[in-house]
Every structure is written in C-alpha cells, then in structure tokens.
A and B are shown apart, each in its own frame.
Chain A
C-alpha cells in the first residue's frame, strides 16, 4: 500500500513554455502533499506544502507565481512550472501523507529539462 505516482517521468520543453506535473496517491487519501526539488548529488529541497482544498504554503525563496500548485482532490496535486527557463531544469519529486500519518510516501519524480 501507500503508492504515489507522478506523471510525466521526464519532460523536455522550450524556454518560455509551461509544464504541468501530476502527483497522485493511488491507494490512500492524501490530505497533504509536498513538492520537492532535487539537484544532482544534493538533498531534497522542500518547495511547498499543499493541503486539499486550500492554498499551498510556499517555502521562503520559492516563487508562488512561477510554481503554481493545485491540490484539488484527496488524490491529486499538480505543480505547474510557468514560463520555464533553463535554470528551472531539475528533478521534481512529490510526496503524500494521509491525515494522522507521520510518514510521507514519495512519487518517482519528474526530470524537467528546459532548453
């Protein structure tokens, strides 16, 4: 149990375009979902926390207008990278947590490359 999927697994886009990444909890209701960014050989950097039906809470230094997060249902959260630029290229990973749980379960990640 506790499976989290993420789509797409990789995406290549042109500079200036927007990219949407989906995160789904497959066998549990995720009241909270987290979005992380990971650079090569580095740790996970929390970008934002989203609770179903409410606005996401962004970490300091993360542009909310650039990284749009929507958590419209208990099984789906989306991250949209707007007007992507090469510096946005990274590995983006989501995680999900059910109400009352301590444990976060991670999606497989999305590798974004902006040309």
Chain B
C-alpha cells in the first residue's frame, strides 16, 4: 500500500522567512496530493492541493511542487507570519476508495 514520509517533523523560522516541507510517497499510481493545516484542537483544513498532471501550483504565499518521477512533493510558504504556526500534514490519495494516506506532520513555528 501507499506510504508517505514527511520531513522535517519540526520547523522553526523567523517571521518573513520561507518554510519548506517535503514529502515522499511510494505508490506511483497516486494522483492527488493535498496539504492540510491543523491548529491545536481543531480540524485539518485544506490549504492547497495538486494533481499528478500538474508540476506546480501557487496560491498567494503558498505553493506546492510535485516531482512524479522522484515521487516527492513539497509545500513552500513564503513571507511566513505568526499565524502560519500550526501542524501541516501532506497526504497522497491511495486505495480504491479514495483513502488519503497522511504523513506524520510537521510542526511549524514562526517566531515574530
């Protein structure tokens, strides 16, 4: 089955700097890769996603890149702000029922 590895597990940056989180997946048939942001005690919220027919997608300060050959995808946050502090999960869609396989998460801390 699908396996998703996520790095780093924690990331601390200064406000205004960029943050990059990387994920790798094992199933070459996976075709959908969302990123979720989860604040403490709250629901995961979709922040951006990418499909396998696209190499890069951007939404304001957030971008995701996908390398199908290498089976990895990355989240890029530019001009980080304290409110970006949260746990970020990557996921890959695997299985016949559209199951998402999640990475273990990255705790991002943005210091003012």
Chain A contacts to B: CB under 8 angstroms: 32, 34, 42-44, 46, 49, 51, 57, 91, 93, 97, 102-109, 111
Contact = CB atoms under 8 A, between A and B. Distances in A.
Contact of B98 (A42, A102, A107, A109): A102
A102 B32 CA distance: 7
Contacts of A107: 43
B5 to A, nearest CB: 12
A108 B42 contact: yes
B102 A32 contact: no
Contacts of A44: 44, 89, 102
Given A102-B49, A109-B42, A43 B102 contact: yes
B49 A103 contact: yes
Contacts, number: 48
Contacts of B46: 103, 105
Given A43-B104, A93-B43, A102-B51, 6 more contacts: A43-B105, A91-B41, A93-B44, A103-B49, A106-B45, A107-B43
Interface string B38-62: 0001111110010100000000000
Contacts of B93: 102
Contacts of B99: 34, 46, 49
A98 B43 CA distance: 19
A52 to B, nearest CB: 12
19 contacts: A34-B99, A42-B105, A43-B104, A44-B44, A44-B102, A46-B99, A51-B97, A57-B97, A91-B41, A102-B49, A102-B98, A103-B46, A104-B34, A104-B100, A106-B36, A106-B43, A106-B45, A108-B42, A109-B41
